[in-house]
Amino acid sequence: MVQIMSPRPPEGVMRPPELSSVAALTAALVETPSPNPGGDERAVAALVAEALAERGLPRPRTLASDPKRPNLVAELDFGPGGRHLCLSGHLDTKPVGDAVWTVEPLRATVDGDRMYGLGSADMKGAVAAMIEAAAALAADPPPCGRLTLLFTADEEDGAAYGARHLAEYERERSGLASADAVIIGEPGGLDADWDRLHLVSRGIARFRMITEGDQGHSSLVERTGAVNAGVTAARLLARFAETFRLTVPTPPTPAPPPAAPAPAPAPAPAPVAAASAPAPASAPAPASAPVAPASAPVAPASAPAAPGLDGWHATANGGMRLYGGVGYGVVPGRAGFDAEVRLLPGMTRETFERDLHAFLAASTEADPDLRARVEFDAPPCDWLPGTAVPADHPVATAARRAYATVFGTTPPDAVFPGTTDAAWLHGLAGVPTLPAVGPGLLARCHAADEWVSITAVEQAVDVYQQIARDFCAAPTGGGVA
- Which residues belong to the active site? 92, 155
d(CA 334, CA 215): 8
Contact, 72 vs 60, CB < 8 A?
yes
Residue 147: strand pairing partners: 76, 85
As a residue count, the chain comes to 481
Cα–Cα distances (Å) from 234 to 80, 208, 231, 455, in that order, read: 62, 13, 5, 46
- Three-class DSSP labels, the chain: CCEECCCCCCCCCCCHHHCCHHHHHHHHHHCCCCECCCCCCHHHHHHHHHHHHHCCCCCCEEECCCCCCCEEEEEEEEECCCCEEEEEEECCECCCCCCCCCCCCCCCEEECCEEECCCHHHHHHHHHHHHHHHHHHHHCCCCCEEEEEEEECCHHHCCCCCHHHHHHHCHHHHCCCCCCEEEEECCCECCCCCCCEEEEECEEEEEEEEEECCCEEHHHHHHHCCCCHHHHHHHHHHHHHHHCEEECCCCCCCCCCCCCCCCCCCCCCCCCCCCCCCCCCCCCCCCCCCCCCCCCCEEECCCCCCCCCECCCCEEEEEEEEEECCCCCEECCEEEEEEEEEECCCCCHHHHHHHHHHHHHHHHHHCCCCCEEEEECCCCCCEECCEECCCCCHHHHHHHHHHHHHHCCCCCEEEECCCCCHHHHCCCCCCCEECECCCCEHHHCCCCCCEEEHHHHHHHHHHHHHHHHHHHCCCCCCCCC
Residue type present at position 447: A
